[in-house]
Structure 1
Amino acid sequence: MTTAAASSSETTTSGGTTTGVGPLLREWRDRRRISQLELALRAGSSARHISFIETGRSRPSQEMVLRLAAHLDVPVRERNALLIAAGYAPAFPETPLDDPSMAALRSAMERLLTGYEPFPALVLDGTYHVQAANRGLTMLLTGVDPALLEPPLNAMRITMHPGGLAPRIRNYREWRDHLLAQMERQLALLRSAPLRALYDEVSAYPLPPGGQESAALGDHAPLALPMILEHDDTVLSFLSTIATFNTPMDVTVSELAVETFLPADPETAEYLRESAS
């Protein structure tokens, strides 16, 4: 990770244009639909000063960049980009998950995943690579193309590839739309070339037979969109939840997510318990 400060208050974006911190902050303010006055009140500044920063007439301090980024809820990785654009060194490290300093975090996540068994759970990074998973999830991967299970495992590929879970997801069209929309929301916040490449790849996968059809979701409307999955001639139904870390101080930690699959009906819960025993 680069630790040296940029030599000027401008940075080059992926498109090749030079952009200072002011236009970047204005872009984030526009995304959040916050006026200069509202942002100034939140940050303990003035609308005039915010205007001067955005137009490049005033160079914000490092503390001001971080304060504005916090009030704009800018992702941690992008906060580093704002600091570099302003001519400062990144404030947040990006520590590999296998680094010794991450041992306590890895151990805690493993305990969490094990404690959730027999229900499926996994830990994902910012590009949906599987960093850890429990036996409940592993059981569901029976029949998946072995090539998709070669490291690094990617949850989006495993789910949407024709050789993955896609042919067994009964409501695949709805579930696919949900996953792609989730990725689109992330891409609206992050300038991530790997995530964009993954999105372009999985969105181009052909639909499996029957993938254009909507599955019947039962007599009652579900509380949330379930993933309805066929497994060993049994139909299982799951609700997905995602948990992230509060106030992360490391880029890697900020992009980790724990996804758990809660049985959406008693039959699914009983099947998983019986299979585990």
Structure 2
Amino acid sequence: MYIRQRWTDPRVKFSATNPDITHVVLNDRDKLWVPDTFFVNERRTKFSEALTENSFIKIFNDGRVIYSTRVHTTLSCPLNHAKFPFDVQSCSFTLESYGHKRKELEYVWYEEKDFPVSVGKKLTTKPFQLRGYGIDACCKPNAPCEYSCLKVFLSAVSILCTAILAAFASSLGPETNDCTALDAWGFWSVVLSTLPMIVLIISRLLTPKVKEAKDEKLEKGEIKESLLGSRVEKIAIYMFPLVFALYNFVYWANYANRMSPENAIADERKVIVLDP
């Protein structure tokens, strides 16, 4: 990712004899003070150094400084898969100063032009797809706060086709010990599929065996049992498909109604929702 920080340092003001020179570029960040920014929930971070270090510092003549760098980072994000594949996951990462309090160093979003955060629309991490992102600040204006920091929230939903395949191949689903919504759906689907077989067995038990002799008549009790078993079969033929269809409609509609990325980050100050 690319991180760009801006601040003003009166110590680096300069005046050039050539009026066209408004700024200078510095490639060595060790020669200038830079904020000790770090990711609070990082697991691993390294600076990109393909040919040269991917960073630069632009110093303007009025003391403004822009520090841009490219980093590769792995961040931790605890997920709850209990509603998979109808879950909306919200991950956040926090930028904060390692050694300065708010009264010494305060972070604010730069919002003079565009949205301060840009995320690729096709960003995916199977079995999830990015649907939106938002920003927030740890310290509200005029509110007591010891440390200043900035937060970015990413909202993702499960990819439906992957979730369907995960129903038949568990290795395609998320690695979790939680009982997911897909597990619950599979359990009740098996139950509803087993009930017709149980009814069929009971129906056959209620229906006496027809004797081989065609001219031999069944007794009245056997006739009643035969009719009862036949009725149970007819009712089951129509009832169980309707019950299974109703179950799927209610189950899927209930979870689909919760798959809104806006709801996952509705409490944040700024939100961008991506087209599906």
Q: TM-score, normalised by structure 2?
A: 0.21
| CA radius of gyration, larger in | 2
Bigger strand share: 2
Bigger helix share: 1
